[in-house]
């Protein structure tokens, strides 16, 4: 499978009055052409910081990308100068956020806003840009697009506004679309329609999608692969089937037990006890130790190696690594 984007050992920290918060601690993953990779985890796990780092949107200061590589078409995005980066943002990699209202300017028609990206990145006449905007509104399912181009954001419902934001993100036909909690602000029916729209758009355009969400229901509907993040690290990565039916990391298992499942009758919902560790001074070993029912001495002392369970399924947990016992025997 062609790799469209590679994130290698990404490290991001934030300087605060309380000290340095290590928000992302060595995250690595590949994004394949035409797939949807979901990054899931509780709030504060580093999933949004990871996605914003790909677009180099981390405010510096207080944020700092302290290490790693983000390779897109052979170029390391972390080493590019701002003008080069601006060309890539929007044209090759675009992003949509949770609240469509904050992404739209209330004083401009949606036509002006959708055309802005294409006029900025491609040398097109306004007539051609308008035609492209109409096509894009059709693609995202806005009826009477020619008339609606002249309207303002407040004249659309929340679901329609999110469709407009998606049209803005796709107008330049990007290779990668990063969607950060794109359906969280929407009610369940509209959420299902927007997720269906993602699937249709991907089929028609072949765009690769990184979906950031805390909602496993959303993930179950659209993701091809899932990366589970905890305390700034990816602790398990696998196909949707592997993560939903053969989860190996106790945190992934806990996440799945804490959401309602339609495929398991009368399943009891079990919240994960405790809270994530303080990332001012992250633990040397597994950060899930204090909440994990299977924790061993080795877990607290040494971070687990990544164990590959299949070509696509990888987990950081000592329970899956036979070296745990040998290592434990060296402790005095
Ligand atoms: Fe639990 Fe240890 Fe695995 Fe961490 S490494 S999830 S503490 S068993």
pLDDT digit string, tens, across residues 137-173: 999 999 999 999 999 999 999 889 989 999 999 999 9
Q: Which CATH number do you get for residue 69?
A: 3.40.50.300
| Torsion angle of C-alpha atoms 95, 171, 182, 79, degrees rounded to 10 | -10
125 and 212 housed in the same domain: no
Distance of CA 239 to the CA centre of its chain: 15
Same-domain pairing of 81 and 158? no
Categorize the per-residue pLDDT at 79 as very low, low, confident or very high, splitting at 50, 70 and 90: very high
Mutate to test the pocket of ligand 1, among 251, 255, 284, 289 (most ligand atoms within 8 A of CB): 289
Domain total of the chain: 2
Does residue 332 lie in a domain region? no
* pLDDT tens, residue by residue, 161-215: 989 999 999 999 999 999 998 888 778 888 888 898 999 999 999 999 999 998 8
Does ligand 1 come within 6 angstroms of the Cβ of 230?
no
Domain extent at residue 31 = 3-92+175-190+203-275+304-323
The answer to whether the beta carbons of residues 37 and 68 sit under 8 Å apart is: no
Residue 39 falls within a domain, yes or no?
A: yes
Query: Ligand 1: which of 284, 297, 303, 304 to mutate, judged by most atoms within 8 Å of the beta carbon?
Result: 304
Report the pLDDT value the prediction gives residue 117, as an integer from 0 to 100.
Answer: 86
Q: What are phi and psi of 240, to 5 degrees?
A: -55, -45
Comparing 28 with 187, which gets the higher pLDDT?
28
**Poorest-confidence range of 32-36, 166-170, 235-239?**
166-170
Q: Looking at ligand 1, which atom is closest to the CA of residue 296?
A: 2
Ligand 1: atom nearest CA of 298 is 2
Q: Are residues 64 and 213 in the same domain?
A: yes
305 lines ligand 1 (CB under 6 A): no
| pTM, full prediction | 0.93
Percent of the chain clearing pLDDT 70 (strictly above): 97
Report the alpha-carbon distance of residue 64 to residue 59 in Å, rounded. Answer: 8
Is the domain of 86 the same as that of 212? yes
In a domain, 253, yes or no: yes
- Is the CB of 289 within 6 Å of ligand 1? yes
Confidence of residue 261 (pLDDT cuts 50, 70, 90): low
Looking at residue 268, what is its pLDDT? Answer: 67
CA distance to 69, 127, 203, 247, 278, per residue, from 222 (Å): 27, 35, 12, 18, 32
């Amino acid at each position: 499978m062609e790799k469209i984007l590679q994130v290698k050992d990404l490290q991001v920290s934030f300087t605060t009055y309380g000290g340095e918060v290590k928000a992302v601690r060595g995250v690595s993953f590949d994004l394949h052409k035409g797939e949807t990779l979901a990054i899931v985890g509780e709030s504060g796990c580093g999933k949004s910081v990871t996605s914003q780092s790909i677009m180099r949107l981390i405010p510096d200061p207080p944020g700092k990308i302290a290490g790693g590589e983000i390779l897109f078409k052979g170029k390391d995005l972390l080493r590019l100068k701002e003008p080069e980066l601006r060309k890539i943002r929007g044209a090759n990699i675009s992003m949509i956020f949770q609240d469509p209202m904050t992404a739209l300017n209330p004083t401009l028609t949606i036509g002006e806003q959708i055309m802005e990206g294409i006029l900025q990145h491609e040398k097109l006449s306004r007539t051609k840009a308008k035609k492209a905007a109409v096509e894009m509104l059709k693609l995202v399912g806005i009826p009477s697009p020619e008339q609606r181009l002249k309207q303002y954001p407040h004249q659309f419902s929340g679901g329609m506004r999110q469709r407009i934001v998606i049209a803005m993100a796709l107008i330049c036909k990007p290779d990668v679309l990063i969607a950060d909690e794109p359906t969280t602000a929407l009610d369940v029916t509209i959420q299902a329609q927007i997720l269906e729209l993602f699937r249709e758009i991907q089929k028609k355009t072949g765009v690769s999608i990184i979906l950031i969400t805390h909602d496993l229901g959303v993930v179950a509907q659209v993701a091809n692969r899932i990366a589970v993040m905890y305390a700034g690290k990816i602790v398990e990565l696998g196909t949707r089937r592997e993560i939903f039916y053969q989860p190996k990391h106790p945190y992934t298992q806990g996440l799945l037990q804490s959401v309602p499942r339609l495929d398991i009758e009368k399943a009891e919902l079990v919240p994960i006890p405790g809270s994530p560790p303080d990332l001012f001074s992250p633990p040397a070993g597994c950060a899930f130790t204090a909440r994990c029912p299977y924790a061993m001495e080795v877990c607290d002392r040494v971070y687990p190696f990544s164990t590959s369970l299949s070509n696509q399924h990888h987990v950081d947990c000592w329970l899956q690594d036979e070296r745990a016992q040998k290592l434990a025997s060296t402790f005095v």
